[in-house]
Amino acid sequence: MTAQPKPRRRKCKVKDCGQWFQPFNSFQSWCSDACGYQLSLEKLAKKKAKEQREERASLNKAKAERIRMKRDFRAKDKPHQTKLTQQVFNRWVRLSDTSGECISCGITYGQAHAGHYRSIGSAPELRFEPLNCHLQCQQCNTSKSGNIKGYREGLIKRIGIEKVEWLEGPHEAKHYTCDDLIEIRAHYQRLIRSSCK
């Protein structure tokens, strides 16, 4: 029976050691008990770091999936799309009305709102109609419930009696889809960008 050859000398795998040693078997990669203990700690730390990276990647993937699902849901959520479109439309009204005065009372100071002549509740089909929405002070729009008498007088001066009567007349109901609302919002966003240049 022939004797097994001794493993060749090798370098200790511990980072701070690196000494050459004669191993007892082919699996030994440390030069002393202290280095063996240190090497096991390093391996545990590497394993733990790998597990943490995998856990973070898994959490990030789950978070990205939740965000995608929420975005997909909101793209089909009509109340949410209506709210976003209304915000952009109102911003455009406030930016485009260069007179800077309330259509109902004529004041030019205070908080400016985008006030509807025919309210959204009474005429939802005119919700995004530019002729139906003008700059209005906070007091007229909220405290005086739109100050309709003053609004009508200011509207006649601004756009004429024919258009005011058209606004007051009957209108065909509009059933906006989410795609319609996104398209309307994009249109007013383009107008806002062009007016800000």
Whether 11 is in a domain gets the answer: no
Residue in the block written with tokens 């240049």 = 197
**Do residues 63 and 93 share a domain?**
no
Q: Which of 49, 75, 101 is the last residue of a domain?
A: 75
Instruction: Give the pLDDT score at 58.
Output: 86
Report phi then psi at 66, rounded to 5.
Answer: -65, -40
Q: How many domains does the chain have?
A: 2
Give pTM, 2 decimals. 0.64
One-letter amino acid for residue 95 of the chain: L
Q: Which of 42, 58, 75 is the last residue of a domain?
A: 75
DSSP state of 124: G
Residue-by-residue pLDDT tens, the chain, 197 positions: 566 677 788 888 888 887 888 887 778 888 888 888 888 888 899 999 999 999 998 888 888 888 888 777 777 888 999 999 999 999 999 998 878 889 998 888 888 899 999 999 889 999 999 999 999 999 999 888 888 999 999 999 999 999 999 999 999 998 999 999 999 999 999 999 987 76
**Do residues 93 and 36 share a domain?**
no
CA dihedral 43, 44, 47, 50 (to 10 degrees): -100
One-letter amino acid for residue 187 of the chain: H
Whether 1 is in a domain gets the answer: no
Those residues with Cβ within 8 angstroms of residue 86's Cβ, 6 or more apart along the chain or in another chain: 127, 128
Please count the CA atoms within 13 angstroms of the CA of 42 that sit on its side-chain side.
13
Alpha helices in 97-173 (DSSP H): 138, 148-159, 161-168
